[in-house]
Structure 1
Amino acid sequence: MKLQQLRYVVEIVRQGNHLSAAAEALNTSQPGVSRQIQLLEQELGFDIFVRTRNRIVDLTEPGRRVLEIAQRMLGDMSALRSLKEEISMPRGGTLTVGVTHTLARYVLPPAVEKFLNAHPDVHLILRRGDPEEICKMVEAGEADFSIGAQTMNQFPELVTLPCFELPRSIIAKTGHPILDAPELTLADVAAQRMIAYDTHYSGQWQVMNVFGHARLPVNVVLSAIDGDVCKSYVAMGLGVAIMTAVAYDPERDIGIGMRDASKLFPPSIINLTLKPNGNMRPYMFDFIALVAPQLTPKVVKTAMKSRLARAA
């Protein structure tokens, strides 16, 4: 049994059971990944994956336990590497943070600047993905922690702490009637052509739930995963967008305007997510405190210990 085989199991699940995508992410060949999984299953004596016509479609029940163990072992290996850095480089090291585009582009730059000035010997890596992808990075030991919007699915093996909330707004081309309507209603917004985030991004599923509960159909003409892309098409007059207010910059976003929509839609809740058994170095707590001052080392450590106690 090889650790690399367990890494393949985790990556296949992370890629939605697509062998080719997993192989690409692991910089190896699809036949090689398939062969290693088969060897692991032969050694264990049971199937890890459910297959239909030689295609992986799901995990078996024993496979789910294999996944949990694999994630834990890979996380422990990541903690060992972090410990090695801590001993060999007491003042420096590497910090990998999973982040969404909105946070990386509009929220984190001031914190990143302060952090790098305070910790010149630390190599900071920002790995971008949707809220669920960055949580999976933490699960797989590919990120020390993640900072992103609330996810549709739960990650019970991780510690999740709220950082802050981002209110939502309506973005439209300058001169659009919705920007000057005396009273903004949900029906007014639903009647517009919509430029929307993909539902996995920025808590967009929460926005769509509001329309669904009100039984108002929405005409989404274009979906994107990048706020800047959404604003480009809004500026062309192709539709309006519902975005977090922080994503709008009146000095840079020429040709578009913003209107507060916090009374119509819930805010985007931004969470810190990390492993309960992660090896947290002092500079990691410093980064967290720059983003969410209320999340002191004591608060984070207490949450981590509490999660471990529940799992015992």
Structure 2
Amino acid sequence: MTQKSLRLALLASLFAAGLAQAQAQDQAKNWPNRTVRIVVPYTPGGTSDIIARAISQPLGEALKQTVIVENRAGASGNLGADAVAKSNDGHTLLLCDVTALAISPSVYTKLGFDPSKDLKGAAMLAYSPHMLVVHPSVPANNLGELVALSKTSKMDFAVTAVGSAPHVAGMAVAAITGAKWEYIPYKGGSQAIGDTIAGQTQVLMNGMLATLPSVQAGKLKVLGVSKASRVPLLPNVPTLAEQGATGFESGTWQGILVPAGMPPAALAKLSAELIRIIRSPDLRARLASQGAEVHTMSPTEFTGFFARERKSWAAVVAKSGLKLD
């Protein structure tokens, strides 16, 4: 190739790079150009729903578009996730328990989508440890007493969704401690909480953000939290690890995912706004007062986290033998 040809090739390459950058800037500038939907794949009132409604208004103000929250429960959260994965309007987002989504491929043999290929993370938002709670009438005040009671009395464990993070966490606790209980499935955390309050089920594990108000109101009794250290809001409540579930820790990680085909520039814009909003002092304080920690991750960090969660929970599911069509 002659020196002139090399110069022409270099100029063409620089022109193409500049054009691509300009197109990316235009994409970010023009997105969004219509209503943005945040799909919550569970019933209203659960942890994901609380977070979604907390960010919807400020996100709409930042993007200068209407942002609506749509609850699309079913198939343990997979119905809503599948709809977002297959959407092609560029304006449909998924807010869910990221761990639950990472567990699904290990539990369901016939998923209509692949979470690691058809979705990509926009931003992690918050973490809420699981709380182990019981109906106030249950004569147990710690994990050891509950385990002993479960071996002599019928014990129904409310499952926020089959294959969800609280469900698999409950199975892990049972495997570690020898507890015996029957899992009763629901379509979301709010329904599981409601039935446990009503005494139709006796035991529940669920995210602290959605469960703490019922504990504070005396409607549920907390026996432990599934965190490495005690929660400042409940300093007298021991962790499950302290009570015999050695090394056990679980919780609800809330994040926003988008279809894999979303343009990178639009994804970067969305991610930046989400992280800015969730880190705002008012929202951070509001969530902290309810037991949720603001915990942000960029799209790259989110991808790594999802891969690790999928791998670690696959081992737990394999030991449990849980498989669903």
With the shorter chain as reference, the TM-score category is 0.5 to 0.7
Distance in 1, matches of 2:223 and 2:277, equals 29
Percent pairwise identity: 8
- Counterpart of 1:159 in structure 2 is 120
Distance in 1, matches of 2:302 and 2:131, equals 33
Q: Contact 2:130–2:207 (CA<8 Å) still a contact in 1? A: yes
- Counterpart of 1:98 in structure 2 is 39
Distance in 2, matches of 1:302 and 1:212, equals 31
Distance in 1, matches of 2:302 and 2:156, equals 43
Q: Give the letter aligned to residue 166 of structure 1.
A: S
Distance in 1, matches of 2:260 and 2:62, equals 26
RMSD (Å), alpha carbons: 3.8
Matching residue within 60, 77, 81 for 1:135: 81
Describe the SS at the equivalent of 1:177: coil
Matching residue within 203, 219, 226 for 1:240: 203
1:148-202 per-residue CA deviation (whole Å, 9 max, x = no partner) reads 1222215231324644332111232335333x34x65772585533222231445
Matching residue within 165, 187, 195 for 2:158: 195
Describe the SS at the equivalent of 1:156: helix
Describe the SS at the equivalent of 1:124: strand
Between the two proteins, the alignment pairs up a number of residues equal to 215
Matching residue within 139, 143, 158 for 1:177: 139
Q: Give the letter aligned to residue 258 of structure 1.
A: V
- Counterpart of 1:146 in structure 2 is 94
Matching residue within 113, 116, 120 for 2:57: 113
| Structure 1 gap segments, 5+ residues each | 1-82, 305-312
Does residue 260 (structure 1) correspond to residue 260 (structure 2)? The answer is no
Distance in 2, matches of 1:278 and 1:245, equals 32
Q: Give the letter aligned to residue 225 of structure 1.
A: K
Give the 5 Å matches for 1:261-280.
Answer: 261-262=225-226, 263=240, 264=245, 265-279=249-263, 280=266
| Structure 2 gap segments, 5+ residues each | 1-25, 106-113, 227-239, 280-293, 304-325
Greater mean deviation of Cα atoms: 246-255 or 234-243: 246-255
Give the 5 Å matches for 1:1-312.
Answer: 87=30, 93-101=34-42, 102-119=46-63, 121-129=65-73, 130-141=76-87, 144-149=92-97, 150=99, 151=101, 152=103, 153=105, 155-157=115-117, 158-160=119-121, 162-178=124-140, 180-181=141-142, 184=144, 187-188=147-148, 190-191=150-151, 192-212=155-175, 216-220=179-183, 222-238=184-200, 239-248=202-211, 249-250=213-214, 255-262=219-226, 263=240, 264=245, 265-279=249-263, 280=266, 282=269, 285-287=272-274, 289-291=276-278, 295=296, 299-300=298-299
